[in-house]
Chain A
Amino acid sequence: MRPEFTSPSSSSSSSADRRLNALVRHLATASMVSQTAVAFSPTSGFHGDSVFSHVVRAPEDPILGVTVAYNKDPSPVKLNLGVGAYRTEEGKPLVLNVVRKAEQMLLNDKSRVKEYLPIVGIAEFNKLSAKLIFGADSPAIRENRVTTVQCLSGTGSLRVGAEFLARHYHQKTIYIPQPTWGNHPKVFTLAGLSVQTYRYYDPTTRGMNFQGLLEDLGSAPSGSIVLLHACAHNPTGVDPTLQQWEQIRQLMRSKALLPFFDSAYQGFASGNLDVDAQSIRMFVADGGECFVAQSYAKNMGLYGERVGALSVVCRAADVASKVESQLKLVIRPMFSNPPIHGASIVATILKDSNMFNEWTIELKAMADRIISMRKQLFDALRARGAPGDWSHIIKQIGMFTFTGLNSKQVEFMTREYHIYMTSDGRISMAGLSSKTVPHLADAIHAAVTRMS
């Protein structure tokens, strides 16, 4: 029997009737239907504004906005150099063969289940990740002074580490390089830290402002946290030399500054996993403490699977154990426990020596293609006689190049040549191919000769 309902009058609004009809239908299909009248209540919330009427529209993410604009462009020669993801010579996304192989193995293993992981994630994944970044023979690992927790890629690792620091560390300020990845300040601010910058990039040389860096870190309050890009600085591609790293290390240790490494490109920058981990290992070798946020988005091409790890290197094993217990209290109220799929792929690859070797080969191929694009772009600019020194293109390392172009020149290149990049002049070398280098070189040449 259908429950009765009363409506205020036959001229009530159709939307109100629709809502009530929907309500009646839902109740009528329920096995627990009762014969209670459903009254149209004047206090049911029809009246009044949304309690979120005041919420303003958030600006579009600037980096993602580039791809939005690119997608709209109908030009056949358009080029997307904003994208921070690897592309093949054909301009396509790439899933590594070894990743597909690992995924098939997991899928075909009928004994696998989808139970909740522990709060800190897959134990084997965590151990292997620590070995990957610190080295298999790292004393810190041998001495049980490292705690590693599985997190959501680099961003998630940074956020969990920062929330831990905001809660447990005596210094609530983190120093980040100028410039840095656009999302860094918000990650740290939302975690409860305040953000200061240290000089890093020198636009006149398109290299490092090492003097400025040393001065700014030198004047930071003792104990401050310092964000360091482990390699392939994003967005500039400018990394300290080994000697400069050593000076940074000495300065930081003398002032008890706490290093927080963002390692998003291990193996992807130089093509060699150990070379790209050197800066971190140098710091760990001196026995001191540090945080490391590791991402597998780029070097394993696992972007959307959100695979990463936060490691905290401590002075003593019992401290590491207590730190781990407190990290759980950060993670549990954020997402309870991490996703199983991507980390299982990583663990599968890292623990099998054949698959590990296959991975290093595919990884080196990606890094080599990017290095080759740098060389080709540099040669093409020189061949056109583009004014200026373009050697920074081959000196910078990693996925991105800070071209040194200003926003007017960038705008010009988008308008006239359909080249899409972020307004700071950053281009993703991963988005280039041998076929498209000439078009980009033409565009840059035109931009610097016709726009200043």
Chain B
Amino acid sequence: MDSVFASIVQAPEDPILGVTVAYNKDPSPNKLNLGVGAYRTEEGKPLVLNVVRKAEQLLVNDQSRVKEYLPILGLAEFNKLSAKLILGDDSPAIQENRVATAQCLSGTGSLRVGAEFLAKHYHQRTIYIPQPSWGNHVKVFTMAGLSVKNYRYYDPTTRGLNFQGLLEDLGAAPAGAIVLLHACAHNPTGVDPTVEQWEQIRQSMRSKGLLPFFDSAYQGFASGSLDVDAQPVRTFVADGGECFIAQSYAKNMGLYGERVGALSIVCKAADVASRVESQLKLVIRPMYSNPPIHGASIAMTILKNSDMYNEWKIELKAMADRIISMRKQLFDALSAK
């Protein structure tokens, strides 16, 4: 008797992960893995931040801690601190209780939960993503029930931004369409709009009622400054309009495998945010019930303790600086040739 799955085809290997598979097979002593999307030290090793190890020690050694289910939306304090981190301590949106935040599984999980919410509750089911974008974006949105279109972004001739094309394509999008914006450190191009260009994007989008969905995976990791990297998000929020933000702590806290992230939805009114929050639970509960406690507890411990927070900023800047230094060194080495 045949398997009921006999006709299933072998899925292709994930292209990004396939690079590491090939690298591992290579016996050469000079091999270099430049596919990996995780930080490596000068010695080529993964890094667990000192402040993360410290926070983890505190948690595990605290015998009063238990492993009970978190609420569906995760750790409340983690959510509040995450919103403050990306929006700023003094954000009016937070002060006015207009932000609904849910702890999710890193950036991917935040994008998926936000997209499923939109597919269920928003009148426009199309999301515009930059060309190119992270390889997984299309599938996240499609599986959530949205259709995906592209807007021009990268200009291969200048290896910079095709700003004209971007404005044209967003300008031609139907009113209300969702637009994915990489908050900083665009993946894969590394090309970001300037502050002035962000302002033009903001004005254009607001005039057409386009809904921004920020993917913030590198706050602090791009420039070395948490506030600088949050600027695009904050300018949009400052105009009083609405937006979605998917936040990841994978890179900036080095928490990759712990899956720590948050989805924030900035609304025009507090009662809307409250109702939106209640509906987010109905997306999360049938997906995985409630989020994992460990990684978010580490992040929360760091964010709420000012000494640890400062330690984190220093370690974060060191990672960002090392990468910036590598850019300079590579550029210099190529120029020298």
Give A residues with C-beta under 8 Å from B.
Answer: 15-16, 18-20, 22-23, 25-27, 29-34, 36, 38, 41, 43-46, 48-58, 61, 64, 85, 93-95, 99-100, 103-104, 107, 112-119, 151-153, 155-156, 159, 163, 168-170, 183, 186-187, 189-191, 223, 256, 258, 289, 297, 301-306, 312, 314-316, 319, 321-323, 325-326, 328-330, 332-342
B5 within 8 A of A: yes
Q: A316–B235 contact, CB under 8 A?
A: no
The residues of A that contact B176 with a CB separation of less than 8 Å are: 51
Residue of B nearest to A94 (CB): B66
Provide the bound-state CA to CA distance between A258 and B3, in Å: 11
Interface centre among A34, A52, A116, A191 (most CB of B within 10 A): A52
Stretch at the interface among B138-146, B157-165, B307-315: B138-146
Q: Is B60 part of the contact surface with A, judged by Cβ < 8 Å?
A: yes
Q: What residues of B have a CB within 8 angstroms of the CB of A20 in the complex?
A: 238
Smallest distance from the beta carbon of B37 to chain A beta carbons, Å? 8
Kindly supply a per-residue 1/0 record for chain B positions 88-112, scoring 1 wherever the CB is within 8 Å of any chain A CB and 0 otherwise: 1011100000000000011011001
Q: B22-30, B77-85, B255-263, B317-325: which lies at the A interface?
A: B255-263
* Contact between A52 and B295, CB atoms less than 8 A apart: no
Residue in chain B with minimal CB distance to A188: B286
Question: What 0/1 readout, one digit per residue, does chain B (277-299) give for beta carbons within 8 Å of chain A?
Answer: 01101100111111111110000
Contact present for B203 and A322 (CB under 8 Å): no
Shortest distance between the CB of B337 and any CB in chain A (Å): 31
How many contacts between A and B, using CB within 8 angstroms? 304
Question: In the docked arrangement, what's the CA distance between A169 and B238, Å?
Answer: 48
Q: Which residue of B lies closest to A170 (CB)?
A: B4
A329 contacts B292, CB within 8 Å? no
The 4 closest A-B pairs by CB, nearest first: A45-B241, A304-B293, A340-B257, A152-B288
Shortest CB–CB separation between residue B253 and chain A, in angstroms? 9
Asked if A335 and B105 make an inter-chain contact with CB atoms under 8 angstroms apart, the answer reads yes
> Min CB distance, B172 to chain A, in Å?
17
Query: In the complex, what residues of B have CB within 8 A of residue A223's CB?
Result: 4
Once A43-B203, A43-B207, A155-B287 are accepted as A-B contacts, the answer to whether A303 and B239 lie under 8 Å apart by CB is no
18 contacts between A and B (CB under 8 A): A19-B239, A22-B91, A57-B275, A57-B278, A58-B281, A61-B285, A112-B48, A117-B257, A155-B288, A159-B288, A190-B116, A258-B4, A304-B67, A306-B292, A334-B143, A335-B105, A336-B109, A339-B105
A319 to B5, CA, bound (A): 7
B214 to chain A, nearest CB (A): 15
- CA–CA, A427 to B17, complex, Å? 47
B272 contacts A333, CB within 8 Å?
Answer: no
Measured between beta carbons, the chain B residues less than 8 angstroms from A336 are 105-106, 108-109, 136, 259
Is B215 interfacial (CB 8 A cutoff)?
Answer: no
The answer to whether B3 and A339 touch across the interface, beta carbons within 8 angstroms, is: no
Within the complex, the shortest CB–CB distance from B115 to chain A, in Å, comes to: 9
Among B121, B206, B250, B274, the residue within 8 A (CB) of A44 is: B206
Of all chain B residues, the one with the shortest Cβ separation from A288 is B1
Q: Does B133 contact A (CB under 8 A)?
A: no
Query: A228 vs B180: C-alpha distance in the bound complex, in angstroms?
Result: 41
Contact present for B227 and A30 (CB under 8 Å): yes
Chain A proximity of B241: nearest CB distance (Å):
3
CB interface residues, B 49-72, toward A, < 8 Å: 52, 56-57, 60, 63, 65-72
The winner among B11, B56, B67, B269 for most chain A CB atoms within 10 A is: B67
- Give Cα A43 to B206, complex, Å: 6
Q: Distance (Å) between the CB of A199 and the closest chain B CB?
A: 24
Cβ–Cβ contact A314 & B5, under 8 A = yes
Highest count of chain B CB atoms <10 Å: which of A27, A58, A100, A168: A58
- Which of A32, A297, A330 gathers most chain B CB within 10 Å? A32
User: CA–CA, A155 to B136, complex, Å?
Assistant: 23
Q: Is the CB of B106 within 8 A of A155?
A: no
**In the complex, A334→B259 CA distance in Å?**
12
* Shortest Cβ distance from A187 into B: residue: B286
B174 proximity list for chain A (CB < 8 A): none
Q: Once the chains bind, are A58 and B1 in contact (CB under 8 Å)? A: no
Contact A183 B285 (CB under 8 A): yes
- Assembled-state Cα–Cα distance A297/B292 (Å): 11
With A85-B69, A95-B66, A341-B258 in contact, do A45 and B242 touch (Cβ < 8 Å)? yes
Taking each of B60, B258, B288, which has the highest tally of chain A beta carbons within 10 Å of its own beta carbon? B288
Q: For B255, what are the chain A residues with a Cβ–Cβ distance below 8 Å?
A: 114
Q: Which residues of chain A are within 8 angstroms of B142 by Cβ–Cβ distance?
A: 333
A22 B281 Cβ-Cβ under 8 A: no
Assess whether A29 is in contact with B259, with CB atoms less than 8 Å apart: no
Interchain CA distance A249-B145 in the complex, whole Å: 36
Which residues of chain B are near A329, meaning CB under 8 Å? 11, 139
Within 8 Å of chain A (Cβ to Cβ): is B199? yes
Measured in the bound complex, the distance between the Cα atoms of B47 and A153 in whole Å is 28
Instruction: State the CA gap A302–B69 with chains docked (Å).
Output: 9
> Interface code B1-23, partner A: CB below 8 Å = 1, 0 otherwise?
11111101111011001000000
Is B8's CB under 8 angstroms from A337's CB?
no
Select B292's contact among A117, A152, A337, beta carbons within 8 Å: A152
CB distance from A115 to the nearest CB of B (A): 5
Q: Is the CB of A305 within 8 A of B293?
A: yes
Q: For B67, what are the chain A residues with a Cβ–Cβ distance below 8 Å?
A: 93, 95, 99, 301-305
Closest residue of chain B to A163, judged by CB? B143
Whole-angstrom CA separation of A56 from B14 in the bound complex? 39
The interface centre, meaning the residue of A31, A33, A116 with most chain B CB atoms within 10 A of its CB, is A116
Is there a chain A Cβ closer than 8 Å to B125's Cβ? no
Q: How far is the CB of A357 from chain B (nearest CB, A)?
A: 21
Q: Quick one: given A19-B240, A155-B288, A332-B139, are A116 and B3 in contact (CB under 8 Å)? A: no
Q: Are B139 and A333 in contact (CB under 8 A)?
A: yes
* A304/B68 contact (C-beta < 8 A), A155-B289, A339-B257 known: yes
Does the CB pair B195–A27 fall under 8 Å?
Answer: yes
- Whether A335 pairs with B109 at a CB distance below 8 angstroms is yes
Inter-chain contacts of B63 with A (CB < 8 A): 100
Chain A residues closer than 8 Å to B92, beta-carbon distance: 15, 18-19, 22
Contact among B5, B38, B105, B276 with A55 in the assembled complex (CB-CB below 8 Å): B276
B150 within 8 A of partner (CB): no
Complex-state Cα separation, A336 to B140, whole angstroms = 9
Partner of A333, one of B68, B72, B112, B240: B112
Q: B2, A315: Cβ atoms under 8 Å?
A: yes
Contacts of B267 in A (CB 8 A): 50, 52
